[in-house]
């Protein structure tokens, strides 16, 4: 479990969203960001509102505007 990964597999990382994405990103930089997010985790829990989000979300992943408020996990 990870506070930035929903139980349906959606990863909440600004780099993966349209607001944080840039054409200069490389596969290596994306992988390093994911690895850093995963290894720096200190809490074994799901994101707040995980079950409600999974039950009610019908949008495509790229159409979801996540709020990135917790970088200290």
Could you tell me the CATH number of the domain that includes residue 29?
Answer: 3.10.110.10
Question: With contact defined as beta carbons under 8 Å apart, do 9 and 47 qualify?
Answer: no
Pick the catalytic residue from 5, 10, 12, 16.
Answer: 12
Number of domains, the chain: 1
The parent domain of residue 11 ranges over 1-72
Rounded to an integer, what distance in angstroms lies between the CA atom of residue 36 and that of residue 72? Answer: 12
C-alpha distances out from residue 24 to 15, 20, 27, 37, 48, Å: 12, 11, 10, 20, 32
Token readout for 33 is: 């960001």
E strands along the chain, which residues?
Answer: none
pLDDT in tens, 4-47: 899 988 888 888 877 778 889 899 999 999 999 999 989 899 98
31 catalytic residue (yes or no)? no
User: Against a cut of 0.75, is the pTM above it?
Assistant: no
Q: What pLDDT is recorded for position 54?
A: 85
């Amino acid at each position: 479990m990870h506070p930035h990964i929903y139980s349906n597999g959606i990863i909440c990382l600004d780099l993966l969203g349209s607001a944080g994405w840039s054409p200069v990103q490389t596969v290596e930089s994306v992988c390093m960001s994911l690895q850093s997010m995963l290894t720096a985790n200190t809490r074994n829990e799901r994101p707040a509102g995980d079950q409600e989000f999974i039950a009610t979300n019908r949008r495509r992943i790229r159409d979801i505007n996540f709020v990135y408020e917790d970088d200290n996990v």
